[in-house]
Amino acid sequence: PKAQRIRLGETMTLGSGERTKEVNYSSPDRGTRVQVFGRVHRERKQAQVLFVTLCDGGGYLQCVLTGQLTKTFDALTLTRESSIMLKGEMWEVPLNAHASDNRELHVDYFEVIGKAPGGDDAITYKVQAKGDPQTLLDQRHLVLRGETAAAVMFVQDAVEHAFNVKYHELGYVKVSPPALVQTQVEGGSTLFDVPYYAEKAYLTQSSQLYLETAIPFAGNVYCIEKSFRAEKSLTRRHLSEYTHIEAELDFITFDDLLNHLEDMICSVLSITLSIPRIAAKIQDLNKDFQMPERPFTPMRYSEAIDWLREHGIGKEEGEPYTFGDNIAEAAERKLTDIIDRPIFLTHFPHEIKSFYMPKEKADPRVTESMDCLMPSVGEIMGGSMRIDNYEELMDAYKRHEMPPEPYYWYTDQRRYGTSPYGGYGFGLERFLAWLCKQHSVRDTCLYPRYMGRCRP
C-alpha cells in the first residue's frame, strides 16, 4: 500500500509481532504504512540494527532499520540532526523494549535529505557546555534542539494559548499597542532610547497606558506583547526584552481584581495541563508540580516588612527592613520559599510604586497595588487599580516629576468618562520559570536578551 504521510504524534493502527532481522511483511497484524520527515535526534547502532530517534516537532519516534538497510553508506555515516525521510510500517514496541508512544517504525526505505556534520562539528560537541553557560547561549540555536529547551518552548506556546483561551471565554478583546513610544510607564531608568527619524523614541516598558485607552471602546481588554527594560543588573529573573501579558478590567474594585487574578492563574494552569502532551512535558521538567491551593495567601506590604524583621532577614547591607523600603529580590525569594505557596503581596507605599497607582482610602501611605509571588521565582505579576480622578493624576505627574503634556492622551481618559478600573502584567518568562522549574528566565525564552547579550 501507498505510504501515508504523517506528522509524529498522530495516532494510527499499529502492527504487532516480533522484531525480525528483515522487516516481516507476512505478519497478520501489519501496521499502517507511513512516510515521515524529520531530523535524527539520536542514533544507536547495534550489530544488526540501527535505531534512529526521529524528531519533527510533533514528537519523537523510534525508527528501526534492519538487514541490508543498515549496511548502506547513508546508514553507516548517519549523523545526529541530519534531515531524513523514512518509509515503513508502524509497529507496537516489543515486550521489554521502550519507546515513546509505545510504537516504532519498521523502516524499509529511507533517504538522507541534508546531512549534518560529524566529528568536531557534530552537534553534541557544539552544545557541550564545559561548564560555560555563555557557550550554550552562543549556541542557543542548537541548544533549542535539545529535549529540555524544546519542552520549555512547547509549554510556553501552551501557556500563551491558555491565556488567549481564557480571555476569550471571559469576553476580553485583544489589542496590539505600539512598541515604539515617547512616554514612560515604569520610571525613566530602564528606558531604551531609539532614534526615531528626527525625534527621540523609546521601546515600551509596558503596554499598560495604551491598553487603558482601549477600555472605553472595548470594555475589558488584554494584550500579549514584548516589553523592554534597560535593566542594568544581571539576575536570573531580569531580561531586557520579555513577553508581557497585560489586561485592564473596567468598573471593578481592588478585591475584584484580586479574585480575577487568582481565577486567571488557576484557569490558565488547568487549560495548559489539559493538553496531555504538555502535561507530560511539565511532569518531566517539574515532577513536583502541583496546582496552587486557593485562596492564595494575602499579605500586605507592611505585614511582609514585619515578617522579614521577625525572621531576621535584612537588607543587603544587613540592616533590618523598615516601612518604605523596596524589598530586594533575595529577601523576597526567602519569603516566598519559606511560605512556599502563592502570595498576593498588596498595598505598597506610593513612594516605591508607579505614578498611576491610587492611594488606599483607609491608609493613604499605601497604594491599591499587588504583586503575585511564586515559590523559587518571586514576583511573576504586578498590578494595581489606576488613578481615576483627574486632579489626583495631575498631582501624581508632579510628584513623579513627569511633564503632563506628552501624556495628554492618557490624561484624557480621566476627562472623557472616567471609571474605577485596574489591571496587571504577567512576565511570561517568569511564569514559565516557576511552572517548568527553570533556574533562570534566560532558559524560558527562545533567545534571551539581557545586558551584554543581544545575539544570536
| 242 part of the interface to ligand 4AD, by CB under 6 A | yes
- 70 vs 438 by CB, closer to ligand 4AD: 438
Least distance from C-beta 198 to ligand 4AD, angstroms?
29
- 87 vs 414 by CB, closer to ligand 4AD: 414
Contacting ligand 4AD (CB under 6 A), which of 81, 160, 186, 360? 186
| 380 part of the interface to ligand 4AD, by CB under 6 A | yes
Element (H, E) at 222: strand 221-228
Q: Give the cell for residue 101.
A: 508512544
Q: Give the cell for residue 451.
A: 545586558
| 208 part of the interface to ligand 4AD, by CB under 6 A | yes
Least distance from C-beta 453 to ligand 4AD, angstroms?
13
| 191 part of the interface to ligand 4AD, by CB under 6 A | no
| 238 part of the interface to ligand 4AD, by CB under 6 A | yes
Least distance from C-beta 380 to ligand 4AD, angstroms?
5
List of residues 6+ apart from 251 with CB closer than 8 A: 419, 420, 421
| 239 part of the interface to ligand 4AD, by CB under 6 A | yes
| 231 part of the interface to ligand 4AD, by CB under 6 A | yes
Contacting ligand 4AD (CB under 6 A), which of 246, 332, 368, 443? 246
Coil, strand or helix: which one is 13? coil
153 touches 160 (CB < 8 A): no
Q: Count the residues of the shown chain that bind ligand 4AD, applying the rule CB under 6 A.
A: 24
Least distance from C-beta 167 to ligand 4AD, angstroms?
14
250 touches 211 (CB < 8 A): no
**Gap between the Cα atoms of 411 and 415, Å rounded:** 7
From 49-57, 261-269, 276-284, 379-387, give the range in contact with ligand 4AD by CB under 6 A: 379-387
Q: Give the cell for residue 205.
A: 516598558
**Gap between the Cα atoms of 351 and 388, Å rounded:** 19
| 423 part of the interface to ligand 4AD, by CB under 6 A | yes
From 9-17, 237-245, 298-306, 387-395, give the range in contact with ligand 4AD by CB under 6 A: 237-245
- DSSP assignment letter at 31: -
Coil, strand or helix: which one is 108? strand
Contacting ligand 4AD (CB under 6 A), which of 88, 358, 383, 448? 383
| 225 part of the interface to ligand 4AD, by CB under 6 A | no
**Gap between the Cα atoms of 230 and 204, Å rounded:** 11
- 33 vs 341 by CB, closer to ligand 4AD: 341
**Gap between the Cα atoms of 431 and 268, Å rounded:** 11
- 206 vs 438 by CB, closer to ligand 4AD: 206
| 250 part of the interface to ligand 4AD, by CB under 6 A | no
Contacting ligand 4AD (CB under 6 A), which of 382, 387, 407, 443? 382
210 touches 177 (CB < 8 A): yes
At residue 205, what is the residue type? Answer: Q
- 82 vs 444 by CB, closer to ligand 4AD: 444
Q: Give the cell for residue 61.
A: 519516534
Contacting ligand 4AD (CB under 6 A), which of 69, 370, 381, 385? 381
Q: Give the cell for residue 118.
A: 560529524
First to last CA, the chain: 46
Least distance from C-beta 382 to ligand 4AD, angstroms?
3
The number of CA neighbours under 13 Å toward the Cβ of 269 is 18
Least distance from C-beta 293 to ligand 4AD, angstroms?
21
- 70 vs 243 by CB, closer to ligand 4AD: 243
Coil, strand or helix: which one is 271? helix
| Cα dihedral 380, 385, 390, 394 in deg (nearest 10) | -40
The number of CA neighbours under 13 Å toward the Cβ of 127 is 15
From 8-16, 159-167, 298-306, 418-426, give the range in contact with ligand 4AD by CB under 6 A: 418-426
Query: Within positions 427 to 456, which residues make up the interface with ligand 4AD, using CB under 6 A?
Result: 427, 429-430, 441
Q: Which of 227, 221, 163 is nearest to 190 (CA)?
A: 227
Element (H, E) at 345: strand 343-346
The site for ligand 4AD (CB under 6 A) is made up of 185-186, 206, 208, 229, 231, 238-239, 242, 244, 246, 379-383, 423-427, 429-430, 441
